[in-house]
Structure 1
Amino acid sequence: MAVRPLRPPRFDVAAALAGLLGGLLLWAFGLGVRSGDDPMVLFDGRWALLVPLAVTACCELLRRTAPRTALAVGTLALAADTVTQGSIATIVMYTDLMYAAVVYGTPATARRLPWITGVLTLAGMLVPYAVLRVPEALLIGLVVGAVTFAPASTGLIVRNHRDAADAARLRAEQTALLAEMDRVQAVSSERARMARELHDLVANHLSAIAIHSTAALSLDDPATSRDALSVIRENSVAGLAEMRRLIGILRDAAHDTAPAPAPTLDSLDALADSARANGLDVRLDADPGAVPAPVELAAYRIVQESLTNALKHAAPGRVLVSVVRRDLCLAVTVTSPYGDREGPRAPGSGAGLVGMRERVALLGGTFEAGPTRDPDSADGRIWAVRALLPLTEGDSA
């Protein structure tokens, strides 16, 4: 329910003035509810009915700011009006006070008033009829119901409709908020995926280009420079092809030519050959079998990024790559010699390990990377990347 205003709204002020002026107009023409010789009229002076009229008009100013107080004072004013000649304006304003108490009052007041007024209506019909034993006595209950029960019931219906509308509006706002949160999360996830793909596509080829261009510039040997330029050209062409594939994916195959398919584990041999051409001593052990497409892409990217890191950071020695199936997981392991170096042979963004960890986390697997002890290596230390990717039945390629 909305917060009640501290000042009477303009509508309430207008209603109070209209009721007061209407009552004064009826009083000026001498029009009352009862005649002066009615036995219920205890105060038959012309001025007596103006007091309940003025009090009820003042209560109209409080119909929204203090609805229960306005109804309580208005009830006393109506009771006083019944012992005068009465004014129809007072009765009409009282029905509005009853309506406002249900619509703008507390939930407890809104629930109780229709029941209380309903009981009063029945009592107003049955008690006079039991005492007077005339059918006309039932009209007393009808009048009580018209003044109390009818506006209270109308107010309850209006309040229920308003509450339902507020609840529907709140649900719509919550739905819109959740949709916006989902949109932001989807955009963030897509940006992260694009960043991983772009890093994995470009880093390997650019690292090889940087290393071989450095070699070509530092060695004054035409044969070595020619070999380095050949490797640079191969990696440039391969990098451009990968970039075209990514651009095709981003454009959602808008042209008739579909983008090149995503790499698979069958391409690991070509990936190892490319690493050997870049100067790495790579030994590949791959027996993955049929695996789901997301797992296949993640495993390929982990091997690709690990070989790129080995090209930039590893000490001289053999790089071992293992991609094998273990129970319900695909185990990916890449180890390379780990030794003290002055610095990387090519600059990096530092996002390689982060991207691999994100790929594994999206599949619900485990990932670890770091130096470890290995008695078979020259200095007893290697850099190991290990990932366990769970295989989900029914999603295999």
Structure 2
Amino acid sequence: MAVRLPRPHRDDVRISVGGLLGGFALWGVGLFSRTPDDPISLVDPGWVVLIPLVVMAGCELMRRTRPRAALLIGTVALTADLLTRGSLVTVVMFTDLVYAAVLYGSPGAARRIPWITGLITVIATVWPVAAWRKPEGLLIGAFTGLVTFTPAATGWIVRNHRDTAIAERLRAEQTALLAEMDRTQAVTAERARMARELHDMVANHLSAIAIHSTAALSLDDPTTSKEALSVIRENSVDGLAEMRRLIGILRDGSGDREPAAAPTLDGLGSLVDSARTNGLDVVLETDHADGLPAPVELAVYRIVQESLTNALKHASPGAVTVGVAQRDGCLTACVSSPYGDRDEPRAPGSGAGLVGMRERVALLHGTFEAGPEDSPTGKVWAVRATLPLSQGESA
């Protein structure tokens, strides 16, 4: 199967054609590098100079696609040119092949060629001076360096600049990609945080509204309906106020842009009183020091709030116990409610509450458990969250 050679670059074609036409022009006017009586010229006919010229022009077609092969063949063509009257265009095209071999060749070739051409330049300088004992021998070394080492060094410098530019561009693209990933993660995290806050602040009030409105509609008792409507109004007003505060934070230039004070454990009493107003029999037990980290206090408050909301919707009749205790550098919250078979919840739920509680605990590197378990008073649904205080201080 025949091997298909790669197509030469259009710029290489231009260089090859231009060099070939320039060489033919010099040959046509009889302009050569050496005179017929030059001792180095072994072939006298002037047309022979065209053979290395054509070969060198063909090598220019491979300067990008096969730089190593082009340089090897070009070296042979240059050696043959030395045996003729010589063409300046052939020498110029050879310097371009040396430059291209360093610039487009393999990394190993790019490192070796400057060293090899530098060694050749040193030999071409020292040997004529030592052999002829004349300073004119330095001209041979200077010409050799101009033809070999100079284009090799130039190619090495250009290649280093090109590689540096590519590396900087890749680094900039990676930096931009990482910045975009960080921005996306930050947006996702902020959306999740806002979803948790919105759920925890509003779900409790809306659940109470749904439960008491159902009671008001199902019971034909003016006194009960009036009490239910009072609870509904209270929860509606509180929920609306919290929604306004949240919207004020989200929207620029609308109302109160300052965030409301974060709930603390001191507000658990009011939270429990509100749950009792909504119809829960709640017992609160606390044992903790003052001045706890704000992220831990907020997380515990929201977990207790969501647990009471779930108890209001799903718990069987009976006492709900809320316990908050500080032990061994951790703050533990436990909410247990009677667990039994119910035909349906008192208010619909989406299941996002447990997800939000678990996310809050995970952000503070704590542990979270929720599920049914046995107790001395019967089967209960227990929610337990243990939060290390050290993580809250660093949050």
What is the TM-score with the length of structure 1 in the denominator? 0.96
Letter in 2 for 1:18: G
Counterpart contact for 2:249–2:256, Cα < 8 Å: no
Residue deviations 1:149-187 (CA, integer Å, cap 9, x gap):
000000000000001101100100110010011011001
Residue deviations 1:71-100 (CA, integer Å, cap 9, x gap):
000000000000000000000000000000
Offset at residue 26 of structure 1 (A): 0.4
Letter in 2 for 1:33: S
Distance 2:39 2:16 in 1: 30
Offset at residue 392 of structure 1 (A): 2.0
Residue deviations 1:160-219 (CA, integer Å, cap 9, x gap):
000110110010011001001101100110111011111111110110000000000000
Unaligned runs of 5+ in 1: none
What's the counterpart of residue 293 of structure 1?
Answer: 294
Offset at residue 221 of structure 1 (A): 0.3
Distance 1:90 1:316 in 2: 103
Letter in 2 for 1:387: A
What's the counterpart of residue 367 of structure 1?
Answer: 368
Secondary structure at 2:370's aligned position in 1?
Answer: strand
Offset at residue 349 of structure 1 (A): 1.2
Counterpart contact for 2:216–2:225, Cα < 8 Å: yes
Unaligned runs of 5+ in 2: none
Distance 1:108 1:168 in 2: 22
What's the counterpart of residue 145 of structure 1?
Answer: 145
What's the counterpart of residue 347 of structure 1?
Answer: 348
Letter in 2 for 1:58: G
What's the counterpart of residue 325 of structure 1?
Answer: 326
Distance 1:396 1:6 in 2: 61
What's the counterpart of residue 87 of structure 1?
Answer: 87
1:213 aligns with 2:213: yes
Offset at residue 263 of structure 1 (A): 1.5
Secondary structure at 1:392's aligned position in 2?
Answer: helix
Secondary structure at 1:130's aligned position in 2?
Answer: helix
Secondary structure at 1:395's aligned position in 2?
Answer: helix
What's the counterpart of residue 106 of structure 1?
Answer: 106
Secondary structure at 1:36's aligned position in 2?
Answer: coil
Offset at residue 264 of structure 1 (A): 1.5
Offset at residue 256 of structure 1 (A): 6.4
Counterpart contact for 1:253–1:259, Cα < 8 Å: no
Residue 254 to residue 82, structure 1, CA distance change in 2 (3 Å): farther
Residue deviations 1:25-60 (CA, integer Å, cap 9, x gap):
000010000001111111110110000000000100
Distance 1:183 1:256 in 2: 26
What's the counterpart of residue 159 of structure 2?
Answer: 159
Counterpart contact for 1:328–1:391, Cα < 8 Å: yes
What's the counterpart of residue 387 of structure 1?
Answer: 385
Counterpart contact for 2:213–2:232, Cα < 8 Å: yes
Letter in 1 for 2:351: G
Alignment RMSD (CA, Å): 1.6
Offset at residue 254 of structure 1 (A): 6.0
1:185 aligns with 2:155: no
What's the counterpart of residue 67 of structure 2?
Answer: 67
What's the counterpart of residue 303 of structure 2?
Answer: 302
> Which range moved further: 31-40 or 128-137?
128-137
Q: Which runs of 4+ in 1 moved over 4 A?
A: 252-257
Offset at residue 239 of structure 1 (A): 0.5
Secondary structure at 2:48's aligned position in 1?
Answer: coil
Secondary structure at 2:331's aligned position in 1?
Answer: strand
Letter in 1 for 2:248: G
Residue deviations 1:219-238 (CA, integer Å, cap 9, x gap):
00000000000000000011
Offset at residue 244 of structure 1 (A): 1.3
Secondary structure at 1:32's aligned position in 2?
Answer: coil
Secondary structure at 2:390's aligned position in 1?
Answer: coil
What's the counterpart of residue 134 of structure 1?
Answer: 134
Secondary structure at 1:149's aligned position in 2?
Answer: helix
What's the counterpart of residue 335 of structure 1?
Answer: 336
Counterpart contact for 2:245–2:256, Cα < 8 Å: no
Residue 226 to residue 357, structure 1, CA distance change in 2 (3 Å): same
What's the counterpart of residue 18 of structure 2?
Answer: 18
Distance 1:227 1:167 in 2: 73
Offset at residue 251 of structure 1 (A): 3.0
Offset at residue 393 of structure 1 (A): 7.9
What's the counterpart of residue 38 of structure 2?
Answer: 38
Distance 1:393 1:357 in 2: 16
> Which range moved further: 252-261 or 95-104?
252-261
Offset at residue 260 of structure 1 (A): 2.4
Secondary structure at 1:320's aligned position in 2?
Answer: strand
Distance 1:26 1:393 in 2: 83
What's the counterpart of residue 238 of structure 1?
Answer: 238
Counterpart contact for 1:291–1:396, Cα < 8 Å: no
